Amino acid sequence: MTDARSQILGLVRRARGERADAAAVDARLAARRPNLIPARAQLPHAEQVALFLKMAAEAACTVERVAADADVPEALATYLAAQNLPAEVRIAPSLAGLPWDRRPTLTVRPGKADPADAVSVTGAFAGVAETGTLMMLSGPEHPTTLNFLPDTHVVVIRASQVVGTYEDGWARLRAGPGTMPRTVNFITGPSRTADIEMTLYMGAHGPRRLHVILVDSDPS
């Protein structure tokens, strides 16, 4: 008996006849050539940042903009208070270096998400302007569970991390980390469902709230 693999590949090969072109396939995989790129996000960087914030807000994120890292603890504490959320958050290890001690009332614990965590705070690898999408890479510095388990997810992203398109995100990934992490999450707004009577409800399984804090300056 032929095994399933060779039989399936054999059937596929027979069906397509002689047209296959291994050199063309390998060239395409190596070239990774972008296809048509919509004009929407082909903008100067400052306008890409503005588009990113606008599209994220349209996807039901709440967004705010601060000048520098030093402003993040204050912005976070103010946001949590306004939402009546506890000042106790799980942070991605990548954010451990922010000056959290500026707000001593905030309790920040780095690590992966615990089911009891109400709020997570993470960074992002990139922000994609064309649809207001956050691009997250999994790794020891950014456990994926932080993106999904807590009720509220706060994302701290730098203006310099905003790119125009998904393709720009892939280009940064190839130039930076180089290899694919276990998980790449593109996140566009908070979790939602319309499975009951086609009515939209937020917070189906993932976070009910997604708050974006955009930091204008890079750390000096």
Partner 1 sequence: MQPQSHAFKDNVRTALADANLQRALDRFKGGFAVKRKIVADKLPEFEALRDEAKGIKDHVLANLDLYLERYEAKVVETGGTVHWARTPAEARAIITDICRSVDAKTVTKGKSMVAEEIALNDHLEAAGIRPIETDLGEYIIQLRKEIPSHIIAPAIHLNKEDVAKAFREAHTHRDPARPLDDGGVLVGEARAELRERYLAADVGITGANFLIAETGSSIIVTNEGNGDLTQILPKVHIVLATIEKVVPTLEDVSTILRLLARSATGQEFSVYTTLSTGPRRDADLDGPGQYHVVLLDNGRSGMLGTEFQDMLRCIRCAACINHCPVYAAVGGHAYGWVYPGPMGSVLTPSLVGVREAGHLPNASTFCGKCESVCPMKIPLPKMMRHLREREFEGALSPPATRFGLSVWGFFARRPALYRAATGLAMRMLGWAGRREGRFRSLPLAGGWTSVRDMPAPQGRTFQAIWAERRRG
State which of positions 112-141 bind partner 1 (CB under 8 A). 112-113, 115, 131-133, 138-140
Q: Which is nearer to partner 1, 12 or 81 (CB)?
A: 12
Instruction: Write the interaction track for partner 1 spanning residues 69-108; mark x where CB under 8 A is met and - where it is not.
Output: ----------------------------------------
Find, among 151, 136, 155, the residue nearest to 206 by Cα: 151
Task: Judge contact between 98 and 72, C-beta under 8 A.
Answer: yes
Instruction: State yes or no: residue 57 binds partner 1 (CB under 8 A).
Output: no
Count interface residues toward partner 1 (CB under 8 A). 78
**Contacting residue, 51, 89, 119, 149, with partner 1 by CB under 8 A:** 149
Task: Judge contact between 187 and 133, C-beta under 8 A.
Answer: yes
**Tokens describing residue 187:** 């996140």
List the interface residues with partner 1, window 35-54 (CB under 8 A). Answer: 35-36, 38-40
Instruction: State yes or no: residue 172 binds partner 1 (CB under 8 A).
Output: no
Compute the distance between CA of residue 107 and CA of residue 96 in angstroms, rounded to an integer: 12
Amino acid at 39: A
Amino acid at 149: L
